[in-house]
Amino acid sequence: MKDKLGLPRDRIDGARDLADKITRPILGFVEKHTTVTVERATLRLAGCDGADREGVPVPNLVVDQLEASGRLEEGALLWYANALIREGRDPGELDARIAAGLKIGDLPLGDREAIRRKGEALARAGLDRVAANRATREALLDRWKGRNNDPLLYLIVATGNIHEDVKQARAAAMRGADVIAVIRTTAQSLLDYVPYGATTEGFGGTYATQENFRIMRAALDEVSEKEGRYIRLTNYASGLCMPEIAAMGALERLDMMLNDSMYGILFRDINPYRTFVDQNFSRMINAAAGIIINTGEDNYLTTSDAVEKAYTVLASQFLNERLALAAGLKPWQIGLGHAFEMDPTLKNGFLLEFAQAQMAREIFPEHPLKYMPPTKFMSGDIFKGLAMDTLFNFVSKATGQGIHLLGMLTEAIHTPFMMDRHIAVDNAKYVMDNIASFADEIEFNKEGLIVKRAHEVLERTLAFLEEVEAKGLFDSIAEGLFADVKRPRDGGKGFGGIVEKSGEYWNPVEESLKATLGLRVGDGRRNGAEGGR
């Protein structure tokens, strides 16, 4: 998209430099620590699976054993590979024995070289499956190139029953949706385990499980063949199991994952240290899998005013970009989030929305920005709601957004019915088709409101990032500088699940991911990670 706002490049580069300085201490901590869910994700990618009679996943059983005995600091896969060698069994048989009560941490460690070879073979097999899924997706996208909407139309399903979700997802895709997101059941982000198998009961959404991922992926592949265009699948790599859900998504060929660096801290009260370690590992998995992440800046505007605190959204986008690049994600995989959330009674609110969206597009030209619809100010007046969504659709197309979550006229009344989704798709396509070349036809008044607003937000963002750099990110979060929510560094859920790596720590999955992504072991930063400038 042509530069229309005249934003100063040196100021944008300055913001990126500040984001780099802010995140360096975070990445230093990440490099020295692991968590219970990083270790469980490692086991899952190495083939560890199944659950005991109580439904406790085998990766949880292994990690809980090792944590209790003080051995997790060496890496869970060390002990799992050792058990495979000593017991002479394949992962499926070993998992069954662990589910029945085998304590692999009690087994004496054998020859380290043999363990290394076994662990590397397990890691290679899992990551080969991930690579094969990526190749399949890329082949399908190439086969149906140009058949999707631009921006991609993104719709949610959330019945609680995966089989009912499939019906709604098929209907939405056949109506014209390009991306189907299966909303996760309420509070799953606070579970420190991933349920096993297909599920048919959930509140406000459906459990994220590997079997549910498999079921929905198969259903959308069928629809893709019938429609002649690739239908993408999305879920949530967030909460206390970010790396595990990323691993399951990679193994079952999900295409997008919500994966924000601070969402869990601010909106789910998950410990900051835990969150930053988990997001880094989960993003490495997403990077290798070719998955596009969606960040959560739109949530800031549910607790903060969209006019007064717009700079916090842009600041978070810079930080999310920096941490994503440090985990090996390419710019085309970083779907930075924002939202159409101005008070509709505000005079010229539409122009302010336009300014924010255009600014994000010009600052992050290589990123598939994810634009969220109005929700905070939606009411039971469905006619006004449809008008608000129409303006949102207009801004999205006119500013070249990449991923467009469709607004629902019944947003404030109930979980949308299929007919509501159909109306949303039809409205978006009507607006976007009718203004297809609008962006090429307009220029902005250099002295006008839109240009001045974008410059103002950028300058306030720089001042804000300077304040965060001076205080440090942890203290800035604790003081409520982001989203007006205060979270102390040593509080929140999951704090006990952080483990300092010993000098003997070994994780061949992590090593392989870093090698694949061009990350230096022991550094935590990507070589040449200036992408997106």
Tokens representing 455 are 């410059």
Cis peptide before 344 (omega within 30 of 0): no
Residue type, 430: Y
Residues with Cβ within 8 Å of residue 253, at least 6 apart in sequence = 133, 136, 137, 217, 233
Residue 59 · residue 19 · CB < 8 Å? no
Cα atoms in the Cβ-side hemisphere of radius 13 Å centred on 117: 5
DSSP state of 235: E
Residues forming a β-bridge with 337: 370
Of 392, 388, 391, nearest to 372 by C-alpha is: 392
| Residues known to be catalytic | 263, 298, 370
Residues sharing a CB contact under 8 Å with residue 318, sequence separation 6 or more, in sequence order: 15, 16, 18, 19, 461, 465
Cα–Cα distance for residue pair 178/224, rounded to 1 Å: 10
**What's the CA gap between 313 and 304, in Å, rounded?**
10
Residue with tokens 């302010």: 352
User: What is the DSSP track for 34-51?
Assistant: EEHHHHHHHHHHTT---B
Q: Give the position of tokens 């590997």.
A: 210
